[in-house]
Amino acid sequence: MPVKKKKPSVLKRQRQEEKRRLRNKQILAKIKALIKKTKKQILDGQDYKPTLNTAIKEIDRAASKGILHKNTAARKKSRLVRTVNKLTTDTSLPSKS
């Protein structure tokens, strides 16, 4: 069976998909980095609230653009806030030793 030549519309679609894939990958990497940075700032005792707000904002933006599903975004935000609450309450308690 002979190999068909790709139509120009197929080639254009492939170029668009590649651009979108790279952009989406970059945004997801940024979200992961912000989540890690927030956790690290809490453990180091630095001010984490601006980073936390930025992470939540980026997660919401990714969900609105269709990069993340809305339930995935909600789960990520929930886990992040739950972790933040856990880490901040553990570090703020005085030690009983």
For the stretch 16-45, pLDDT in tens is: 999 999 999 999 999 999 999 999 999 999
Dihedral sign from CA coordinates of 40, 74, 18, 16: negative
Cα(65)–Cα(95) distance, integer angstroms: 45
Fold of the domain spanning 14-89: Methane Monooxygenase Hydroxylase; Chain G, domain 1 (1.20.58)
Map out the domains of the chain as residue ranges: 14-89
pLDDT at 65: 96
The overall average pLDDT reported for the chain is 92
Residues 6+ apart with CB under 8 A from 35: 55, 76, 80
CA distance 92 to 33: 25
Taking only the tens place, the pLDDT of each residue in 51-67 is 999 999 999 999 999 99
pTM for this entry: 0.81
